[in-house]
Amino acid sequence: MENFNFYAPTSIHFGKGEIKELTKIISEIGKNVLLVYGGGSIKVNGIYDEVYQLLPDSDFTITELAGVEPNPRIDTVRKGAELCHEHDIDVVLAVGGGSTIDCSKAIAAAYYYEGDPWDFTQDRSLVQKALPLVTVLTMAATGSEMNMGSVLTNPETNEKLSTGGVAMIPRASILDPEYTYTVSKWQTAAGSADITSHLLESYFSQNTEAVVQDRMAEGIMKTVIKYAPIALNKPDDYEARSNLMWSSSLALNGLTRAGKKGTWSCHAIEHELSAYYDITHGIGLAIITPRWMLHVLNDQTVTKFVEYAENVWGIDSNGKDAFDVAKEGIQALYDAFVSWEIPMTLPEVGIDKEKIRLMSEKAVEHSTLATTAYVPLTADDVEEILLNCF
Ligand code: NZQ
Ligand code: ZN
């Protein structure tokens, strides 16, 4: 196991009605609030009104930044930072999914940075200080509610890049599973695939001795496999939604990644698909992941794939060829995504072959895929993986 620092200081308020804590959480920080949200789902499901009831005019001044895009854009961050200065903001309140939270993190850090916030994606050390951030999570997926990451898109350059820093970690996050009842089937499936991918990206690493991380990751993967279909069939199933929501946070708060080495593979590739075609992150991951698995399956990796097949999917390996067992595990994941009604080819999400080579080169250029991935990947490898998604 590698040395690590595990730091997860976000105060989590989990469960039905926990929004009631909002008044206390915000008043301990300040009065001037920047309320950040997306395309309006919070107005349809009532969370917006609840926030205003809990932060009344008499005690708080709320400035709004609405319309954060899925795959949040750098221009929205710039706009948010300006609002913070204009309105002397004390605290950023993000109400939404990963996109709203990621955008809010960048706004909070941009407030203290004199240059352009896109710089954060070029150099993480520029994220030094940020306004306090509080989040109200409305969908289970990214883990942004409990981590230091932020993924931003620059549509002018077709780049989707991540940044992050300790200063961006939310101070408190309210996680009410009932808020996720209105999440569409598409986003529920995408979010569940994203959680699964966060676990797999660290599970498949070159370390063989980080056992406690892998047993936890397997447990969370099995939880998602059990509850995603239930939430898809019955959106207001509390048991399913609460287990998915807590899985989202635990899958990417550092718990299963600590002590593991290497860069992530499928995320680096998916971010290029989203950068060029603005597709849903979790759907892109679901399409790529089984193809990536088949590509990296070899004599060195097969033991880990057998472990995955046995421990996550309960596949009996007795008397069977290791490669057959590994492939059964990969097929089981593919079949699960199909059963969640995820379209499993790139043409189905509007991607043709025109930019495959370009995206493959960019994936390698924007990451350390070629040197530090579980199995290092060249642009040719990425191209082969993507062409297998047709
Ligand atoms: O914009 P609104 O109206 O809120 O609608 C959103 C959006 O259309 C909707 N939605 C969210 N909660 C809802 C709801 N609709 C109905 N009821 C609710 N309760 O869902 C749509 C997608 O929302 P979004 O925030 O984009 O989804 P997600 O949470 O999957 O976030 C995706 C973004 O996070 C990045 C991704 O790359 C992508 O940009 N990631 C962030 C990470 C991090 N910070 O650690 C790691 C991840 O790997 C990922 O890269
Ligand atoms: Zn992800």
pLDDT per residue as tens digits for the range 351-377:
999 999 999 999 999 999 999 999 999
Q: pLDDT (tens digit, 9 = 90+) per residue, 35-93?
A: 999 999 999 999 999 999 999 999 999 999 999 999 999 999 999 999 999 999 999 99
Nearest-5° Cα angle at 89, 83 to 95: 80
The C-alpha atoms of residue 26 and residue 171 are separated, in whole angstroms, by 10
Whether 102 lines ligand 1, by a CB cut-off of 6 Å, is: yes
Ligand 1 closest atom vs CA 252: 45
| d(CA 318, ligand 2 centre) in Å | 34
Could you identify the residue written with the tokens 């679901």?
286
Per-residue pLDDT of 197-250, as tens digits, reads 999 999 999 888 999 999 999 999 999 999 999 999 999 999 999 999 999 999
Evaluate: CB of 259 within 6 angstroms of ligand 1. Answer: no
SS3 107: helix
Q: What is the pLDDT of residue 268?
A: 97
Residue of the nearest CA to atom 28 in ligand 1?
98
Euclidean distance between CA atoms 222 and 355, whole angstroms: 35
CA 147, 275, 345 angle in degrees (round to 5)? Answer: 100
**Does ligand 1 lie within 6 Å of residue 39's CB atom?**
yes
ipTM of this complex: 0.99
Q: Model confidence over 278-335: pLDDT tens digits?
A: 999 999 999 999 999 999 999 999 999 999 999 999 999 999 999 999 999 999 999 9
Strand partners, 174: 13, 136
Any atom of ligand 1 within 6 Å of the Cβ of 80: no
Burial pattern 337-354, b for ≥16 Cβ within 10 A else e, equals: beebebbbebeebebeee
Encoded tokens for 124: 């993480």
Of the chain, the end-to-end C-alpha distance in Å amounts to: 38
pLDDT of residue 373: 97
Q: Supply the pTM of this predicted model.
A: 0.98
- Cα separation, 357 vs 202, in Å, equals 26
- Residue 208's pLDDT is 85
Q: How far lies 137's CA from each of 46, 73, 143, 390, in Å? A: 14, 19, 10, 34
Give, in order, the Cα–Cα distances in Å from 368 to each of 76, 262, 291.
28, 9, 20
Structure-token pair, residue 170: 């939310």
